[in-house]
A and B are shown apart, each in its own frame.
Chain A
Amino acid sequence: DIQMTQSPSSLSASVGDRVTITCRASQSISSYLNWYQQKPGKAPNLLIYAATSLQSGVPSRFSGSGSGTDFTLTISSLQPEDFASYFCQQSYTTPRAFGPGTKVDIK
């Protein structure tokens, strides 16, 4: 099975900051990497699919990069509504697997 790791596990940032979250797969997953945002008490929401494609309706300050085993989610200018947890997920093979998550909170 493919294992996913994320770093950092949490971070504190201010509104307007550029934020970068890293996700690593235990083997190559090509570009089959997705990013989700989850707010407390809510279901996850798809932000980025296929490593770099922005889901419809998601603000352009979110972007994704990477391929193979190393991937990055970037928020170019953090907004108040972006304080949440972020999860990566591989969709290269089954069983699908999620990263452990990164919690972004207010500095």
Chain B
Amino acid sequence: SYELTQPPSLSVSPGQTASITCSGDKLGEKYVSWYQQKPGQSPVVVIYQDTKRPSGIPERFSGSNSGNTATLTISGTQTVDEADYYCQTWDYTTVAFGGGTKLTVL
């Protein structure tokens, strides 16, 4: 099965840029989505098809994907962005999730 690797944690100060990476073999040849999950809540998609934002997702969320790494970037990170973030892709016949990154904003 296809593996996606994320750093377990990342800390940033409010107003800084947070970059969360997701790596996998030739990941740039696939499409990646990103989910935000706050404690006790269901995941919410914040980026799909590598770079697209669903309606209602703030512009400070952006995505990129090239080579073996996809990146979720949060510009001007706010305290409300503190959450777990998961990358996800489709590998021919199955869905794969990354292990998640806990973003702390302090």
Determine if chain A interacts with chain B: no
B residues in contact (CB < 8 Å) with A: none
